[in-house]
Structures are given as C-alpha cells and as structure tokens.
Amino acid sequence: MIPQTFEYTAPKTLDEALELLAEGAKPLSGGMSLIPMMKLRLAAPDHLVDLGRLKDLNYIREDGGSLHIGATVTHQEVAASALVRAKCPLLAQTAAGVGDPQVRNRGTIGGSVAHADPSADYPAALQALEAKFVLKGAKSERTVAAADFFLDTFLTALEPGEIVREVILPVEDAGTGTYYEKVVQKASGFAVVGIAVRIKKGWARVGVTGLSNHAYRALAVEKALQGGADVQHAAAMVAEGVDANSDLHASAEYRTHLAVVHTARAILAAMSRMA
Ligand SMILES: Cc1cc2nc3c(=O)[nH]c(=O)nc-3n(C[C@H](O)[C@H](O)[C@H](O)COP(=O)(O)OP(=O)(O)OC[C@H]3O[C@@H](n4cnc5c(N)ncnc54)[C@H](O)[C@@H]3O)c2cc1C
C-alpha cells in the first residue's frame, strides 16, 4: 500500500530537527516500524524529520562508569560493538537477535525504545539493566529511568516534540552473569515472550517483554532469587500482578506458561555465565 502524502526533511543539525518537531513534525529513524505503519495507514504524519543522518546522535562511548549510546545507533552496530560486547553483553546479545539482518541494519535503538512495541526485545534488557533515557526537546532535556518510561502499548513518557537522544547503561561487573532468552514469533523475530536476566551472588535483575502491555521488571522473581529461592520457585512468579496478553500468537494462559518456563531457562543460563 502507498502512504498518505507527506513532507520530508533531513535536517543538518539536532537543533534544526528539534525546532521542526516542536512544530508538530514526526521523527523518522530507521523507518522499520514507522514506514510499515504509514503504508497500512495506521499512521499518517504530514511531515517526517529524518534523525537517521544526524551524526551527533550516532555514538557509543564509555563515560563516568556508564555506557552512552546515541539514539540512531543501529541494532547491528550495538551487536557488533566491541565496547558493548565487553561492557554490556546483555544488550549486545539482545540486539543480535532482533528481527533479521535488514531490520538490524536499519532499525535504531532510539526508534525501538520510542516505539515501545510490547513484543520488542530491547525493553526487556533495558528494564533489567535499569537503563536511563535522555529525552530532548527544543528547550528541554531530562533523564527518565526505564521503569518510568514504558507506560503502555506503544505509549511512553515522551512528551510531544521530545526525542530519545541517548540510552545510558551500567558497565557490567565482572562477576555478573547475563542472558536474554526469547520465544520467537517465527514470521518477524519479535518476542512472544522475552526474558532478560542479570545475576550475581545475592542479587538479580529480571526484565520481561511480550507478556504484558509493556516491558517490566519482574520484582517478585528478583526478590525470590535474592532470598535464596530455587530457580523454578522464583520463575513461577514472573507473571505476578500482570495481565497477560492474548493474541493470534499465544493465549494469555499459554503465554504465561511460556514466560515461567523461559524465565527459569534464562536464570540458569545467566547463572552459568557468572564468573
Ligand atoms: C520485519 C521486521 C521484523 C522485526 N523484528 C523485530 C524483533 O525481532 N525484535 C524487535 O525488538 N523489533 C523488531 N522489529 C522492529 C525494529 O526493531 C524497529 O527497528 C524498531 O522497532 C523501530 O526502530 P526504527 O529506528 O526503525 O524507528 P522508526 O520506524 O523510524 O520509528 C518508530 C517510531 O519511533 C519514533 N521515533 C524514532 N526515533 C525516535 C527517537 N529517537 N526519539 C523519539 N521518537 C522516535 C517514530 O516517530 C515512530 O513513531 C522488526 C521490524 C520489522 C519490519
């Protein structure tokens, strides 16, 4: 199908882009989610502002004990980055499993985070990593924790005119084991359920995608693991307090079952990677 007619601007600077966004234009990054939605007429923006060519949003660097990833870094760049692989292996592993090579070469971390698809992979890892997002508008900049960012299906804490400028991640301790485990929708690569785990002695973080209307931290699982519960017992709590999604890929009951089974697998795999 053919999208509705729209204006397209490729600004040379971030300030220019933010001015246009403040006037109501819509950001375009990799176009992997937005363009299909426009073709299906589920989205019909009048004006697209292409962030993908802005060099000052394309970086991966370590600074002050954290990793900083600019919004237009592609999934492939995250997966291939020696720095991310060494300092934040959970994110590199997650990025390597997104979609297919075409999607990974075009899609961006900022676009994925902003789109907030309830079956997207990054949000599980970003919840487990307690990531922070730098959100920038024409006259503002603020930092929001992942726990406060993903609000509902395709709904985030972004205000009109704001973009995700940067993702901030912790540098992983040497002793921490991490793993991302997903049940793949075979047609797309999206997660029917996806479980991201970081674990070390007496401490655990667990992020979940696909099960609910947005990615979340499975606090009950974390607490059980930290209290010394066995893996199966802890994993059984992954859907606590959550309304499970039901769609053509999996009923709520089956999805919950998958989440429990794959949470246990993810925990065991992360444990096996502890130094
Ligand atoms: C065939 C296919 C398979 C896929 N498989 C997977 C998968 O297995 N796992 C997975 O997680 N994802 C998957 N995706 C989605 C993919 O990861 C997209 O890249 C991602 O969801 C959106 O990133 P993008 O850069 O393409 O954003 P775009 O499509 O350009 O934009 C998406 C939305 O975010 C907004 N936006 C873009 N950038 C920003 C920004 N910096 N700040 C604020 N708003 C912004 C846009 O206005 C739009 O509303 C798949 C997509 C396709 C087409």
* Angle of helix 219-226 versus helix 252-272 axis, rounded to 10: 40
pLDDT at residue 2 in the model: 87
Which residues, in sequence order, are CB contacts of 55 under 8 Å at separation 6+? none
Ligand 1 closest atom vs CA 45: 47
pLDDT at residue 90 in the model: 98
Q: Which two tokens stand for residue 128?
A: 């487990």
- Which residue has a Cα nearest atom 23 of ligand 1? 111
User: Does 118 contact ligand 1 (Cβ within 6 A)?
Assistant: no
pLDDT digits (tens, 9 = 90+) for 232-265: 999 999 999 999 999 999 999 999 999 999 999 9
Other residues' Cβ atoms within 10 Å of the Cβ of residue 148:
11
CA dihedral 96, 51, 56, 169 (to 10 degrees): -40
- Distances in whole angstroms, Cα of residue 106 to Cα of each of 100, 122, 249: 10, 15, 26
Q: What is the mean pLDDT of the chain?
A: 97
What is the reported pTM? 0.97
- Which residue has a Cα nearest atom 20 of ligand 1? 112
Confidence of residue 80 (pLDDT cuts 50, 70, 90): very high
- The answer to whether residue 1 scores a pLDDT higher than 80 is no
pLDDT at residue 35 in the model: 96
Phi, psi for 74 (deg, rounded to 5):
-80, 165
CA dihedral 153, 252, 259, 132 (to 10 degrees): 10
Other residues' Cβ atoms within 10 Å of the Cβ of residue 167:
26
Q: What is the DSSP string of 157-171?
A: SPPTT-EEEEEEEEP
User: Does 99 contact ligand 1 (Cβ within 6 A)?
Assistant: yes
Confidence of residue 179 (pLDDT cuts 50, 70, 90): very high
pLDDT at residue 275 in the model: 80
Q: Which two tokens stand for residue 167?
A: 């993702």
- The answer to whether residue 64 scores a pLDDT higher than 90 is no
Contact 209, 194 (CB under 8 A): yes
Phi, psi for 57 (deg, rounded to 5):
-110, 5
User: Does 170 contact ligand 1 (Cβ within 6 A)?
Assistant: no
- The answer to whether residue 95 scores a pLDDT higher than 80 is yes
User: Does 112 contact ligand 1 (Cβ within 6 A)?
Assistant: yes
User: Does 124 contact ligand 1 (Cβ within 6 A)?
Assistant: no
